Structure 1
Amino acid sequence: MAKQFDIQQHVTDSIIEAIEAGTPPWRQPWTGSKAAAGFPLRSSGEPYRGINTLMLWLIAGKEGYASPYWFTFKQAKAAGGMVRRGEKSASVVYYNTIEREDEATGEEVKIPYMRGYRVFNADQIDGLPEEFYRPAVVESRDLGTSADPILDAFFAETGAQIETTEKAEAFYHPARDVIHMPPVSTFHDAGGYYATLAHETIHWTGHETRLDRLTKGRNRQAYAHEELVAEIGACMACIILGLTPDFGQSGAYVEGWLEALKGDKRFIFTAASAAQKAVDYITAHQIQQSAAA
């Protein structure tokens, strides 16, 4: 009997391999030598979310794909293309629920499930319309070392309390519910400042009055999980803002990430999901603030 494919284990093993090689997928799009940064897109143009974003970043960075678009074999054929012979597919995850009758109560209950399926990047496919071969467009801004009023407004509209002192530390203080940042002038560039602020703002979303993520444990694994959530979430936020984050400070957490990943194959899934919820919270809050203005 053939061994059943374990999509969770496959994804976790891929992430571990990338971290051990020094190239986590959320870092890869900003190396400057790989494909342009941007969210991976379905053939319809809809962005992938959560763990699928990380996995497709990993493949795109490793293979140097410039296109953000991904197709199933059938979708490629329907669009007039053909996957080149010998090309290897990437694994992504489909989430859904099924309804079943609870034997004890007789009520219909929804049971979540996941399954893996295969996709190919547009760069692996011949004959697609020209627009699918264009690199992801990421707006850039020459920030220098000065504050950027547009980015300042973005973070101000989240509702987070941000205090600035001469103290050379960036952190979120859960008890006070305050983000502390050093002056922007002390950073090498403004991009690094806002990438750091994005990281701390993701932590801020975990407060008990918001997404209530920080009260779920204080052991080493919980700490590693929260830091991974903040790193992934900050990366996603930076893409939205057109920033190029500096992941140099992530090294201090890598050992904890690896230990937690190897101990629980679901770890990266829950971290990616929590990061997506945090980014959704920030952007939804922006929409609410704009509507109320």
Structure 2
Amino acid sequence: MAKLDIHQHVTDTIIAQIEAGTPPWRTPWTGGEGGAAFPLRHNGEAYRGINILMLWATAHERGYNSAHWMTFKQAMELGGMVKKGEKCARSVFYGTFEKAADQTEGKSEDDGKTRIPYAKTNNVFNADQIENLPAEFYITPEQPRDLGTEANAELDAFFTDTGADIISSDEARAYYRPATDKIHMPPIRTFHSVTGYYSTLSHELCHWTGASNRLDRIKKFQNREAYAFEELVAEIGNCLLCLHLGVTPQFDQSAAYIESWLKALKDDKGLIFKAASEAQRAVDFILAATDATEHGEAA
């Protein structure tokens, strides 16, 4: 079996998070996962160094809420059992072993022995992958809260006029699903502000324009680069559409998106111009769709 290059493994894990478009800022609605927690060992001791990055990124990617990580054996000692089919993550353990000074070329200690550092990996599982652990090892996801945020009738009419199929449920996720050609939104009452709701909806609506029967842009996210580019287009389009509607776009969130995508795509300086052009096409398509609806109603 090939030896694991732990530094390459960590680098690949972090890059995958950037390319997947999952930067860790707070969502503008309540409910769902609270985000990956600071990694802790089974005994509550905090991880250090590269293990923090590696385990945090893995938890963020897989949607784990618990802070605790442990080996298969440690889970059993705590009365738990790893669920069937679960995949492990890797943590790094640093230590030293001793050799007699005459067996090595290294510097010997006062006792005549040389201490040689080494690193090895442990296969660990998050508590969310393990059954029957004590309750303190689990974190219950935040439940959606009714914040009383109310819809804007004029904006609702605009989004309806686009012809997009927009559905809502208690699922605390916002997304466009190409397979069903539907946009899903959490209930507006769970959002911290009306601005956050319509800005999020604008982002998903821009994705909607990329379907094969519209601007034919998405191409089913054939690779990470294509996915990252599509996210960049949608977020720039979100800003353009919000400005058109008189809604303040989430510029702090948009800047974070753009920075991540540019890094993910290896700082392609021409990318921002290509994405802005596609974003403008998406917004033009949306505005044309609503204009056609208005003219149809008038006729």
TM-score by length of 1: 0.48
TM-score by length of 2: 0.47
